Copies of this chain bind each other. A is one copy, B any other.
Amino acid sequence: MPNLRVAEKPYHHGNLRKALIEAGLAVLEEVGHAGLTLRAVASRAGVSHAAPAHHFASAKGLLTVMATSAFARFEAALADGRAKTDPDPVSQIRVMGRVYLEFARAHPEQFRLMFTAAKLDWRDAELLAIARMTYRHLEEIARPAADAMGANSATARTNVEYLIWSVAHGFAHLAIEHQIPKPGAPVPTDVPDIGGLLFATAHRGQAGRVKRTKAATVTAGKRNLKPRKSKAERR
């Protein structure tokens, strides 16, 4: 007799994969990284402890999809914030800092997951795609500053991107790891205004002396993949 009523725990969940991702994010938000176990996620989704193995090759597989989901929300917040902000270059840099800090403070566990390479499979196409999409915002935001400073080459522009990114990321990371504020200081509400600083320098007609880098090649990663047996074949 096939199950027609959904409320009576059918043997097959329906869309367990999606449910596990949502359960994982919920567990992460509620009990934090330490309590995020495959068994807790399975339990929350109402399935047995081994069920996740049929949808994710390993814990890393689930974490990778969760991080992809987190990146998607971050990118959406960034796009939304930019759209609602004056297109002025300095304002755009500021809003990126604000969105970065707000996201990190609102979802510190997701933020840590997004930037913990060892827990994720960075060969994953979807994760790479959303990360690339997010970086494109940075490229757009940094471009006017780079131009104003006379940063013509791709390398010089990349350096401006790294600078703006480092300020926002470093400040947000130090904030959620309780390094900022320093003892006795008030809790800051905004990321340092690197945009104002860049354009203050640029208006002086100063050439692009933001940074100096030196060659070397890019590296690649290597991680596990594929679920169990000949069964489901995603991550």
Seen from chain A, the residues whose Cβ lies within 8 Å of a Cβ on chain B are: 32-34, 115-118, 122, 132, 135, 155, 158-159, 161-163, 165-171, 173-174, 176-194, 196-198, 200-201, 203-204, 206, 209-219, 221
Contacts and interface: CB of A to CB of B under 8 A. Distances in A.
Contacts of A216: 186-187, 189
Contacts of A184: 218
List of 9 A-B pairs having minimum Cβ-Cβ separation, nearest first: A170-B170, A166-B170, A187-B216, A163-B192, A169-B170, A188-B213, A166-B171, A192-B211, A189-B214
10 contacts: A163-B194, A165-B174, A166-B167, A166-B174, A166-B192, A167-B170, A186-B218, A189-B212, A200-B209, A204-B204
A159 B204 contact: no
Contacts of A161: 182
A178 to B, nearest CB: 5
Nearest to A115: B177
A181 B173 CA distance: 18
